[in-house]
Structure 1
Amino acid sequence: MEKNPDLMVFDVRDEKEYLQGHLPQATLISQKELKKKITAFDQEKVYMIYAKNDKTSAKAAEILSNNGFSKVYVLNGGIEQWPYEIE
């Protein structure tokens, strides 16, 4: 995956899982931290959220959507469904 300055990739798993492997360009962030820092994020950017499962990803995506972010996507199936190399 090429670096895209307009794309923010959020990994909402725990730190141990993140360190075992994550998507390129991914930032580790908990749902609690996401809520706390929501005003610091650019609403014009595209956000891709993933976790181990869709339920966790959907909750994080909902936080963004409920705060005016319209370009929010969830990686269906979580990181296990990512077909490319992870870091």
Structure 2
Amino acid sequence: MKILDKIFKPEKTRSNKIEILDVDVYKKAVNNNDVQLVDVRTSGEFKGGHIARAINIDFFKGKAFVEAFEKMDKTKPVYLYCRTGSRSLKAANKLINMGFEKVYDLKGGILKWK
């Protein structure tokens, strides 16, 4: 029975305050706009290439991650991305729990950007 529960367990519902955008929609939103654009990868990954005007706030930095986002405007949308979209979705959920009103995530991460 437990195996079937794992197979058919409904996917966790995510907040309606998080929207996952395809690369074309995401590019239009962040290009030529003054948005809060954040790369949640490590600094090494960030140095290897990132989206123009993005700032780097490493998801794995715990307290530093929270402190950096606490300085941001929670009423303005935040655009997140990582390598594949997994970390950024976790980060998005964390931001909603911190009180951010709207978070956009890049579907497939920066691997889909190029």
TM range (shorter): 0.7 to 0.9
What is the number of equivalent residue pairs in this alignment?
81
The aligned residue for residue 20 of structure 1 is 48
| Aligned residues of 1:8 and 1:25 also touching (Cα < 8 A) | no
Q: Structure 2 stretches of 5 or more lacking a match?
A: 1-30
The alpha-carbon deviation at position 16 of structure 1 amounts to 1.5
Structure with a larger share of its residues in helix = 2
User: Retained in 2: the 8 A contact 1:12–1:60?
Assistant: yes
Q: Does 1:45 align with 2:73?
A: no
- For structure 1, the residue ranges without an aligned partner over 5 or more in a row are none
Could you tell me how far 1:34 is from its partner in structure 2? 2.3
Greater radius of gyration (CA):
2
1:19-69, Cα deviation, whole Å (9 max, x unpaired): 111001100001222212333111121101110122211111111111111
- The answer to whether the 8 Å contact 1:12/1:56 transfers is yes
Partner of 1:30: 58
TM-score normalized by the length of structure 1: 0.82
TM-score, length basis structure 2: 0.64
Query: Is 1:10 aligned with 2:41?
Result: no
Cα RMSD for the two superposed structures: 1.4
Distance in structure 2 (CA, Å) of the matches to 1:20 and 1:40: 26
Cα pair distance change 1:82/1:45, threshold 3 Å = same
